[in-house]
A and B are shown apart, each in its own frame.
Chain A
Amino acid sequence: MKVKVISRSEEEYTRERTSDLRKVQRNYDPLLHPFEKAKEYTRALNAAKLDRVFAKPFLAALPHDDGVTCLARNPKLVNSIVAGAADGDIRIWDIPQKRTLRRLVGHTAAVKGISFAPDGETCVSASTDATVKLWKVPYAPFEAGVVQDDAEAVFEFQGKNAFRGIDHHWDRSAFATAGAAVDIWDHSRSEPVQSFTWGSDTVTSVRFNPAEPDVFASTGSDRSIALYDLRRATPLRKVVMQTRSNALAWNPLEPFNFTAANEDCCLYTFDMRKLESALGVHKDFVSAVMDVDYSPTGREFVAGSYDRSLRIFSVSGGHSREVYTTKRMQRVFAVRFSGDATYVFSGSDDMNVRCWKAKASEQLGVRLPREKHKQAYNDALLERYKHMPEVKRIVRHRHLPAAIYRASKMRRAVTDSDKRKLQRRIDHSAPGSIVVKPERKKKILAQVE
């Protein structure tokens, strides 16, 4: 007889010394791992719940003396942000220490735009007092100490009318301002080098394209978004919409796409080569959208609105993935993503710049490999089971202030009733007599060249 029986020696399966790692045997046979689907679903549910438990996005509030009207991100420094207030006060903030590094004093009226030069050491600010000031922003880290007033601007550019926005060129030492018309200035000239006008309405903001440095776009109060090229004398083309756009941001990784924050509570993403139809409409706000900024990853953007909230949208999604509100935060006028795509800054009417986490339940700091792996596993589980009703209910759940909740309910009732009525009109009319414009083209009135 030939017989063999399972006999395991204890030494083979246990460790020799306490300083050794414990031995681990794996057998991937599905017979030993029953209920795979049910276990994964339970883990996805737990992951969704833990996500909500750990969702504490608010980090810090940095105080100003008047409502914050604009924000700017230093392309070379990740840990600082520059904020301009309605009384002309500009502060450079050190986020980790939550303190002011410099106060740039000089403007006498509201600062409407701040922009950094590509070297990260110079910044320009435009204000309603018809001046643009050039400041030196030192690169070296600051020592802990008292806030120093840096009263002097290095250079001051005098304009004829109040300025509404500013953006610096990516390559040269030039910048564009938005006011009565779009003016192109040079650091060494006291008069604008070039000027673009189209119609007689004010231009509210300008943004240079991240890939093509001579191309930029502007939003105007004639409800238009215009494209310009510095190498030409006249603007390129313009798309007129039903309502005015307040701000504009280019996608850093798809530089032919930009997103405009509109007064009709939506954001419209356009491809600059094809302006007759929007690429996408992002709807979730209940009041005018004031500012928009893209994440450096190019996959999502943050927008702040007049309804006291800020939302983070995914580029391909129509609805926001996250909403941040606080009782203390009033109208949000400026938003920026941080340089490492981890934080989001909001400047609001309640005189504070707030710092939030971009991913509300993310654990910041150095994580162990096992923690990272577990987090990645949880994210993958949520991705796989996000359509299941229980999981979806938990993942989507956000607390909204009563005003926003009621307003969004009313908007939904209005849109539902409009849709219903349109459907009935179509049902009871001759087929083809009622033409429905797609949502992406609905708000676009005309394209002008």
Chain B
Amino acid sequence: MAEDEPPRQAGEGKTSKKRKKVRDPEAEETAKRLKRGPAVDLKSITDKKLKGKLKRTEAVFASSQKKAAQINEWLLPASAGTLEAEGIERTWNFKQEAIVQAVDVSAAAKAFDLSLPELGPYNLTFTRNGRYMLLGGRLGHLALMDWQRSHLVCEVQVKEAVRDVAFLHNETFFAAAQKKYVYIYDKRGLEVHCLRDYTDVHALDFLPHHFLLTSIGEHGVLRYQDTSTGHIVAQHKTKLGPCDVMRHNPHNGVTLLGHSRGCVTMWTPNLTTAAVKMLCHKGPVKALALDPSGTYLATAGVDSQIKVWDVRMLRPLHAYYSHAPVTHMDISQRGLLAVGYGRKVQVWQDALRSKAQSPYLTHHLPEGVLETFRFCPFEDVLGIGHSAGISTMLVPGAGEPNFDTFVANPFQTVKQRQQQEVVALLDKLQPDTIVLDPDTIGRVRKEPADVARERRSEETAANAARLAAMRREAEAKAKMKGKNKPSRRHRKKQSNIIEDRKPTIKERQKEEATRKKEAAQKKAETAIPEDAPRAVRRFYKQ
């Protein structure tokens, strides 16, 4: 692009004919992500056949990544939302009303308030494609609605306390953690299952690729249940008390729990203890949030700190101080961090990779105290559940503008939904593929030569020892053949064999006596003098 090039000076030397492609920084980043890591080093390979094969595969990879990068750069239909402040304006000063007035009608319709003051603070969650919203009021009000078209799919009053709600693989099923048990409902509002193994559940979560419903509650038991087969895959006793903060890492499927002693633990169904235990805060952890690439973890504790961690290296990156302890957090698809406490919601942009100085947007709830909030996938909307109902807030630039039809389609028809369910079940991942580093699947685990050698030598030594023991036993048995008669045993008892053992016993007795004498002497030496005052007596070693 001509305006970006520095003005060429005459006589500067040979100017290159090729113009450097100036790419959109986001497109650059996506292209880098598409590379999925460095290429194989072909120079170190001596086997010609293998080298040729790898060269061809690398060429195929490179061409496919180039194509995907080009498609992503040129062929995607939509672009992300933006909010720019002009002049001395600052983005955090913009009120929601002003933003709603400035956008087009269909986008403005996405910001609404549902006033439901009677049935308690509301929990809310969205489906993976962002089309359906599930509300769960504390006093038992469950409602499933297509929120963009203001269409209520089902509504049911369960007459029990509802602590948390979660969608299963699509909008046809959802789970509600009620007073005693967890219930699964159909999209018609009919109760389909009552999961009696789950008692006093505080938080529910669903891993979509593994079809695992996770729950944690009063007893601190983390349960994984496969919702396609109905088996309970794993039950882990966290032994860290009641817990109600649970999130899963979308990159590797690991479940993160925030505990009241300030630590965050990471769990997989395969290990009975936590895979990772991190001490994050002084005091209970109130909120957790993970970004979709599984790189950053944001934690909030009662010590009014928000800490950002690198989850892959388990290192702290930044720490922010808030005026009051933050009670809820969420991270959107494009990395915007939303924090909330009381009646305030703040959205921060670029707060994870680098330390941000000021928020991006703020919102003050007109009515009700904050209960929960979630970003809607593929939309620039933050859904807030509070004690007076539901509100939505427009957050430009939060959602991913271009969805993939075969992953999550907001305009899904019934047939497409059925197809996707079948494909998802066919592609269902087994719970033992949940590992901290998902790249290890399919890798060859190289064992260092000395470790292998040691292991082999240990094996041979153990085998030799076992064989020797067996041989000795066999010999002893052979020796004992015909020699273990009762008369012989009786004779041995009467003989002087006992005499032979006597010296060792006598020796031991002598040793005991000398030891006791020494101990008595020592005690006499270190005895406390009788004129020492009582306060001083503890300094004399006994």
- Residues of A whose CB lies within 8 Å of any CB of B are 1-10, 12-14, 22-43, 46, 385, 387-388
A42 touches B429 (CB 8 A): yes
> From B105, which residue of chain A is reached at the shortest CB distance?
A7
A3 touches B433 (CB 8 A): no
A residues in contact with B404, CB < 8 Å: 25-28, 32-33
Determine the distance from Cα of A31 to Cα of B78 in the docked complex, in whole angstroms: 17
Please give 16 more A-B residue pairs, beta carbons under 8 A apart, in addition to A1-B85, A1-B89, A33-B404. Answer: A1-B94, A1-B99, A3-B83, A4-B79, A4-B81, A4-B83, A5-B81, A6-B380, A25-B405, A26-B405, A27-B400, A31-B293, A34-B252, A37-B442, A38-B433, A38-B441
Name the interface size band of chain B: 35 or more
A residues in contact with B408, CB < 8 Å: 32
A residues in contact with B84, CB < 8 Å: 1-3
B86 in contact (CB, < 8 A):
yes
B407 touches A12 (CB 8 A): no
A27 touches B209 (CB 8 A): no
Determine the distance from Cα of A322 to Cα of B444 in the docked complex, in whole angstroms: 27
B94 touches A385 (CB 8 A): no
B411 touches A2 (CB 8 A): no
B405 touches A24 (CB 8 A): yes
Nearest Cβ on chain B to A449's Cβ, whole angstroms:
33
B residues in contact with A10, CB < 8 Å: 411
A residues in contact with B333, CB < 8 Å: 31
B250 touches A34 (CB 8 A): yes
User: Which chain B residues (395-448) contact chain A, with CB distance < 8 Å?
Assistant: 396, 399-411, 413, 416, 426-430, 433, 438-439, 441-442, 444
Given the interface pairs A3-B83, A7-B107, the reply to whether A28 lies near B72 with Cβ below 8 Å is: yes
B residues in contact with A388, CB < 8 Å: 442
Nearest Cβ on chain B to A118's Cβ, whole angstroms:
36
B77 in contact (CB, < 8 A):
yes
Nearest Cβ on chain B to A370's Cβ, whole angstroms:
13
B106 in contact (CB, < 8 A):
yes
> From B434, which residue of chain A is reached at the shortest CB distance?
A38
B411 touches A35 (CB 8 A): no
Segment of B29-37, B163-171, B310-318 in the binding face:
B29-37
Interface centre among B34, B77, B98, B428 (most CB of A within 10 A): B77
Of the residues A6, A13, A35, contact of B438 by C-beta under 8 Å? A35
A3 touches B104 (CB 8 A): no
Of the residues B89, B98, B107, contact of A6 by C-beta under 8 Å? B107
Nearest Cβ on chain A to B67's Cβ, whole angstroms:
9
A6 touches B441 (CB 8 A): no
B residues in contact with A12, CB < 8 Å: 77
> From A46, which residue of chain B is reached at the shortest CB distance?
B426
Interface centre among A5, A38, A387 (most CB of B within 10 A): A5
Nearest Cβ on chain A to B171's Cβ, whole angstroms:
18
B residues in contact with A1, CB < 8 Å: 83-86, 89, 94, 98-99, 102
A25 touches B403 (CB 8 A): yes
B80 in contact (CB, < 8 A):
yes
Interface centre among B86, B107, B416 (most CB of A within 10 A): B107
B179 in contact (CB, < 8 A):
no
B71 in contact (CB, < 8 A):
yes
0 or 1 for each of B98-141: is its CB under 8 Å from A? (1 = yes): 11001110110010000000000000000000000000000000
B residues in contact with A28, CB < 8 Å: 34, 68, 71-72, 404
Determine the distance from Cα of A14 to Cα of B410 in the docked complex, in whole angstroms: 10
A-B contact pairs, 18 of them (CB 8 A): A2-B86, A4-B79, A4-B396, A5-B81, A6-B80, A6-B107, A7-B106, A25-B409, A27-B402, A28-B72, A28-B404, A29-B30, A31-B333, A34-B209, A36-B36, A38-B209, A42-B427, A42-B429
Determine the distance from Cα of A418 to Cα of B247 in the docked complex, in whole angstroms: 59
Nearest Cβ on chain A to B408's Cβ, whole angstroms:
8
A residues in contact with B106, CB < 8 Å: 7, 9
B82 in contact (CB, < 8 A):
yes
Given the interface pairs A7-B104, A12-B77, the reply to whether A34 lies near B72 with Cβ below 8 Å is: no
Determine the distance from Cα of A248 to Cα of B89 in the docked complex, in whole angstroms: 88
Determine the distance from Cα of A385 to Cα of B441 in the docked complex, in whole angstroms: 10
Determine the distance from Cα of A207 to Cα of B107 in the docked complex, in whole angstroms: 79
B470 in contact (CB, < 8 A):
no
Nearest Cβ on chain A to B107's Cβ, whole angstroms:
4
Given the interface pairs A3-B396, A4-B82, A7-B104, the reply to whether A38 lies near B429 with Cβ below 8 Å is: yes
> From B404, which residue of chain A is reached at the shortest CB distance?
A27
B253 in contact (CB, < 8 A):
yes
Determine the distance from Cα of A196 to Cα of B408 in the docked complex, in whole angstroms: 75
Given the interface pairs A28-B68, A35-B433, the reply to whether A3 lies near B82 with Cβ below 8 Å is: yes
Determine the distance from Cα of A438 to Cα of B405 in the docked complex, in whole angstroms: 57
A residues in contact with B52, CB < 8 Å: none
B residues in contact with A36, CB < 8 Å: 36
B237 in contact (CB, < 8 A):
no
> From A40, which residue of chain B is reached at the shortest CB distance?
B442
Nearest Cβ on chain A to B40's Cβ, whole angstroms:
14
B residues in contact with A33, CB < 8 Å: 404, 407
B residues in contact with A35, CB < 8 Å: 209, 252-253, 429, 433, 438
0 or 1 for each of B358-385: is its CB under 8 Å from A? (1 = yes): 0000000000000000000011100000
Of the residues A9, A32, A41, contact of B407 by C-beta under 8 Å? A32
A3 touches B416 (CB 8 A): no
> From B30, which residue of chain A is reached at the shortest CB distance?
A29
B394 in contact (CB, < 8 A):
yes
A13 touches B81 (CB 8 A): no
> From B35, which residue of chain A is reached at the shortest CB distance?
A30
0 or 1 for each of B203-224: is its CB under 8 Å from A? (1 = yes): 0000001000000000000000
A residues in contact with B78, CB < 8 Å: 6, 8
B residues in contact with A7, CB < 8 Å: 103-104, 106-107, 110
B209 touches A26 (CB 8 A): no
A residues in contact with B402, CB < 8 Å: 25, 27
Of the residues A32, A38, A46, A385, contact of B400 by C-beta under 8 Å? A32
B107 touches A5 (CB 8 A): yes
B251 in contact (CB, < 8 A):
yes
B residues in contact with A26, CB < 8 Å: 71, 404-406
Question: 10 shortest A-B CB distances, which residue pairs?
Answer: A28-B68, A7-B107, A38-B433, A5-B107, A2-B84, A37-B441, A27-B404, A27-B402, A13-B411, A5-B380
A residues in contact with B429, CB < 8 Å: 35, 38-39, 42
Determine the distance from Cα of A38 to Cα of B80 in the docked complex, in whole angstroms: 30
B76 in contact (CB, < 8 A):
yes
Nearest Cβ on chain A to B130's Cβ, whole angstroms:
10
A8 touches B410 (CB 8 A): yes
B292 in contact (CB, < 8 A):
yes
Of the residues B72, B79, B400, B413, contact of A22 by C-beta under 8 Å? B413
Nearest Cβ on chain B to A173's Cβ, whole angstroms:
44
A residues in contact with B77, CB < 8 Å: 12, 25
Given the interface pairs A25-B403, A31-B33, the reply to whether A2 lies near B83 with Cβ below 8 Å is: yes
User: Which chain B residues (290-336) contact chain A, with CB distance < 8 Å?
Assistant: 292-294, 333
Nearest Cβ on chain A to B437's Cβ, whole angstroms:
10
Given the interface pairs A12-B77, A40-B442, the reply to whether A6 lies near B426 with Cβ below 8 Å is: no
> From B36, which residue of chain A is reached at the shortest CB distance?
A30
> From A10, which residue of chain B is reached at the shortest CB distance?
B411
Given the interface pairs A3-B82, A6-B401, A42-B429, the reply to whether A29 lies near B442 with Cβ below 8 Å is: no
Nearest Cβ on chain A to B258's Cβ, whole angstroms:
22
B104 touches A27 (CB 8 A): no
Determine the distance from Cα of A437 to Cα of B442 in the docked complex, in whole angstroms: 37
Nearest Cβ on chain B to A288's Cβ, whole angstroms:
33
Determine the distance from Cα of A30 to Cα of B253 in the docked complex, in whole angstroms: 15
B378 touches A6 (CB 8 A): yes
B86 touches A30 (CB 8 A): no
Determine the distance from Cα of A52 to Cα of B427 in the docked complex, in whole angstroms: 18
A residues in contact with B403, CB < 8 Å: 25, 27, 32
B residues in contact with A42, CB < 8 Å: 427-430, 433
B residues in contact with A8, CB < 8 Å: 78, 410-411
Nearest Cβ on chain B to A14's Cβ, whole angstroms:
5
Determine the distance from Cα of A390 to Cα of B452 in the docked complex, in whole angstroms: 23
